[in-house]
């Protein structure tokens, strides 16, 4: 299988979920949290799935799947244990150019779902391409251990610093004749340009030590210094100020 890993923007995207049992429950939470507009087709629902309906977070059509149910959907998830239903749903979706996922039914899948570990703004997805559920669980447990509070704090700090850097980029670009937009891409001779590797170098052991003792101002300052963006440096490509 040639699976290509990707994160999808599902905010307000229509998604069809066929089935209302425990497998549906495994899918529905992440779909709702991602902002998808979920339509659920199933004659019956287990109580935890029904709770999403009662809270108004999904739209429920209380009957079995019928021809035409995939119309207008961007993605389809099938969570039944009936191979004939899976095939029927998949055939209709594929005929309309809609990607479909059928739980534990590779023949009726256009994509599979990775195992995801999430903490704060960080998500780590892993997959064994469906070959080993035991390996997938082993990876998930160890990735959960890796995502410590310190790592989450580092992610927040890097996000803050990146926003500051981008603001500086925009200021530099507003003075430059050679910048590329959008977004502002600083030219190759600009002293304010940050090579990709420098971000990695800035996350050093001292930054992690400062985070561990919760000196977040010190950690932020060290990251900024490591990026050499304590201040903007005048570039030879800056325009002369108007007189």
* Structural domains of the chain in order of their starting residue, each with its CATH number: 1-113 (3.40.50.720), 114-147 (3.30.160), 149-227 (no CATH)
Dist. CA 79–CA 45, nearest whole Å: 12
CB count within 10 Å of CB 133 equals: 11
Is 177 in contact with 239 (CB distance < 8 Å)? yes
Predicted TM-score of the model (pTM): 0.72
Among residues 5, 27, 12, which one has the least CA distance to residue 74?
Answer: 12
Distant-in-sequence, close-in-space partners of 183: CB < 8 Å, separation ≥ 6 = 166, 169, 170
Q: Facing residues of 168 across strands? A: none
Tokens matching residue 97: 């150019």
Beta-strand relationship, 99-102 and 37-41: unpaired
Q: Map residue 4 onto helix, strand or coil.
A: coil
Query: For the chain, what's the residue count?
Result: 243
The one-digit pLDDT tens for each residue of the chain (243 residues) are 577 888 899 999 999 999 999 999 999 999 999 999 999 999 999 999 999 999 999 999 999 999 999 999 999 999 998 889 999 999 999 999 999 999 878 888 898 888 888 888 888 888 887 677 788 888 888 888 888 999 999 999 999 999 999 999 988 888 887 776 666 778 778 899 898 899 999 999 999 999 999 999 999 999 999 999 999 999 888 887 655
């Amino acid at each position: 299988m040639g699976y290509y890993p990707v994160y999808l923007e599902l905010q307000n995207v229509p998604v069809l979920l066929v089935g209302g049992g425990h497998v549906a429950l495994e899918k529905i939470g992440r779909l709702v949290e991602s902002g998808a507009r979920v339509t659920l087709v199933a004659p019956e629902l287990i109580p935890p799935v029904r709770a999403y309906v009662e809270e108004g977070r999904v739209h429920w059509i209380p009957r079995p799947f019928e021809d035409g149910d995939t119309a207008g959907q961007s993605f389809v998830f099938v969570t039944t244990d009936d191979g004939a239903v899976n095939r029927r749903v998949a055939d209709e979706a594929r005929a309309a150019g809609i990607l479909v996922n059928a739980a534990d039914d590779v023949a009726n899948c256009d994509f599979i779902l990775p195992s995801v570990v999430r903490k704060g703004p960080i998500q780590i997805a892993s997959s064994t391409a469906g070959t080993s559920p035991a390996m997938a669980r082993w990876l998930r447990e160890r990735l959960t251990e890796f995502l410590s509070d310190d790592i989450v704090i580092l992610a927040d700090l890097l996000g803050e610093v990146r926003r500051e850097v981008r603001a500086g980029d925009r200021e530099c670009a507003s003075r430059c004749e050679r910048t590329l937009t959008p977004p502002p891409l600083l030219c190759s001779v600009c002293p304010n340009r940050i090579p990709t590797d420098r971000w990695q170098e800035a996350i050093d052991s001292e930054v992690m030590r400062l985070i561990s003792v919760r000196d977040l101002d010190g950690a932020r300052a060290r990251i900024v210094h490591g990026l050499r963006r304590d201040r903007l440096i005048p570039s030879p490509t800056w325009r002369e100020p108007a007189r």
